[in-house]
């Protein structure tokens, strides 16, 4: 009887497990993020975005240029004619272009930051799913081992009673068949567990933990969803890019300061002259229309995507809340079912020990109890998974 009592105790420890090796879901996310390709380039991307902001804040839209030219008559008359020209040229902002460029650069930087947070949330969803898939695989394997242990104990008991003449040989064959069937279940569950652990290692780069702690349900009043923030930032970036295109309908004008030093022949002294040159490029209508139409189309597209993102997240939050309530109710039913099957199994084990019931009836009761236990622990993990999915739909990181 002490072995029968030990089985439910073992089964109650399946869902989360325990060991010296502990790892939180938050640390698992950090490990997965450190392996993500974007994490390796995030610092450089932020630096590039900041450089874009600094460039838009400059006095000119681009760097100045320096040119030096010379002219003489050494080939030909060779009378000593010499001319030197030094020119410093710099581009100029068009009216309203600088403020538009600053707004576009800041919006682009904010878009990058929000997209990284949205990607981090997406990775959190993968970690959550891998976390609870591992918990389910561990539960199934531990349950299979417990069922196999019980089958071995029953086989030993039936073999002893068969030799004593209390049971028929057919009962021993049934007990042996049960033991072989449960061994097959152990092998299958172990194979599934190994595959799940491999998937977890691929995602996080760490050994799968034995202690899988559940998440707490996030409060309904949470900050705005990172994916909505990312969509809003993308929309703003597209709008500011369109505004910049509207202020940049021609190439940047340039202003140049020219210093000329020249003489006519060897007997003349050098004369200096200072000049100013302003270059205003013409606008090409077809190219301007193309750029404006492309940017306007992009702005319209991202605005529609933003509205779609808001609707999709609202639907995901409603669905996850509904599924959580469903799994909680199913857990209550599974708990009641397990209690009934455990009572029936205890009665039939006593009856079988006294010779008042046959082995097939006991095996059916055992199967019903183990199936109920499997369902109970599966529903417990389903509740934890549903809580994680609610948090995911709310945009809350582990």
Q: What is the mean pLDDT of residues 140-162?
A: 91
For the chain, percent of residues with pLDDT exceeding 70: 94
Q: What is the mean pLDDT of residues 128-136?
A: 96
Instruction: Name the residue with higher pLDDT: 229 or 38.
Output: 229
pLDDT given for residue 221 in this prediction: 66
> pTM (2 decimals)?
0.80
Domain 2-64+94-252+286-394 sits in CATH at 1.20.1600.10
pLDDT given for residue 379 in this prediction: 95
pLDDT bracket for residue 11 (50, 70, 90):
very low
Q: Is the pLDDT of residue 312 over 70?
A: yes
Q: What is the C-alpha separation between 203 and 341, in angstroms, rounded?
A: 39
Q: Is the pLDDT of residue 2 over 70?
A: no
Instruction: Name the residue with higher pLDDT: 190 or 81.
Output: 190
Q: What is the mean pLDDT of residues 51-64?
A: 88
Q: What is the mean pLDDT of residues 62-75?
A: 88
pLDDT bracket for residue 26 (50, 70, 90):
very high
Q: What are the residue boundaries of the structural domains of the chain, listed by start?
A: 2-64+94-252+286-394
Rounded to 5°, angle at Cα 130 from 126 and 134: 175
Q: Evaluate whether 186 touches 141 at the Cβ level (below 8 Å).
A: yes
pLDDT given for residue 222 in this prediction: 62
| pLDDT tens-digit map of 239-289 | 999 999 888 888 889 999 999 998 888 878 888 899 999 988 887 777 778
pLDDT given for residue 339 in this prediction: 93
Q: Evaluate whether 144 touches 7 at the Cβ level (below 8 Å).
A: no
pLDDT given for residue 320 in this prediction: 95
Pairing type for strands 82-91 and 254-263 reads: antiparallel
For the chain, percent of residues with pLDDT exceeding 90: 55
Q: What is the C-alpha separation between 235 and 245, in angstroms, rounded?
A: 15
Say which range, 20-29, 304-313, 374-383, has the weakest mean pLDDT. Answer: 20-29
Q: Is the pLDDT of residue 394 over 90?
A: yes
pLDDT given for residue 74 in this prediction: 79
The burial class, CB within 10 Å (0-12 / 13-18 / 19+), for 209 is buried
| pLDDT tens-digit map of 167-189 | 889 888 988 898 999 999 999 99
Q: Give the H or E element holding residue 300.
A: helix 285-353
């Amino acid at each position: 009887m002490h072995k029968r009592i030990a089985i439910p105790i073992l089964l109650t420890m399946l869902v989360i497990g325990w060991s010296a090796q502990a790892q939180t879901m938050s640390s698992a996310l950090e490990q997965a993020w450190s392996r993500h390709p974007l994490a390796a380039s995030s610092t450089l991307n932020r630096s590039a975005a900041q450089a874009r902001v600094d460039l838009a804040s400059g006095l000119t839209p681009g760097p100045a240029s320096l040119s030096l030219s010379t002219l003489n008559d050494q080939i030909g008359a060779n009378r000593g004619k010499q001319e030197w020209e030094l020119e410093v040229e710099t581009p100029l902002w068009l009216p309203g272009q600088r403020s538009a460029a600053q707004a576009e650069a800041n919006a682009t930087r904010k878009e990058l930051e929000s997209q990284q947070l949205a990607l981090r949330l997406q990775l959190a969803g993968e970690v959550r799913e891998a976390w609870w898939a591992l918990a389910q695989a561990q539960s199934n394997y531990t349950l299979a081992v417990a069922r196999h242990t019980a089958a071995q104990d029953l086989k030993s008991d039936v073999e002893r009673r068969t030799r004593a003449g209390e049971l028929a040989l057919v009962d021993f064959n049934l007990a042996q068949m049960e033991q072989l069937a449960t061994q097959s279940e152990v092998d299958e569950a172990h194979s599934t567990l190994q595959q799940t652990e491999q998937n977890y290692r691929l995602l996080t780069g760490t050994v799968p933990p034995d202690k899988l702690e559940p998440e707490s349900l996030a409060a309904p009043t949470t900050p705005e969803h990172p994916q909505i923030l990312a969509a809003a930032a993308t929309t703003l970036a597209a709008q500011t890019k369109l505004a910049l295109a509207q202020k940049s309908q021609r190439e940047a004008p340039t202003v140049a300061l020219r210093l000329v030093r020249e003489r006519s022949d060897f007997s003349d002294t050098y004369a200096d002259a200072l000049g100013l040159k302003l270059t205003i490029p013409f606008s090409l209508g077809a190219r301007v229309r193309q750029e404006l139409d492309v940017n306007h189309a992009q702005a319209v597209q991202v605005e529609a995507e933003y509205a779609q993102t808001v609707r999709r997240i609202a639907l995901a939050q409603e669905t996850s809340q509904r599924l959580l309530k469903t799994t909680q109710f199913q857990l209550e039913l599974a708990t009641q079912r397990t209690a009934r099957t455990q009572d029936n199994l205890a009665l039939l084990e006593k009856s079988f020990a006294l010779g008042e019931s046959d082995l097939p009836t006991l095996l059916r009761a055992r199967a019903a109890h183990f199936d109920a236990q499997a369902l109970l622990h599966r529903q417990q993990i389903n509740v934890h998974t549903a809580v994680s999915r609610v948090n995911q739909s709310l945009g809350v990181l582990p």
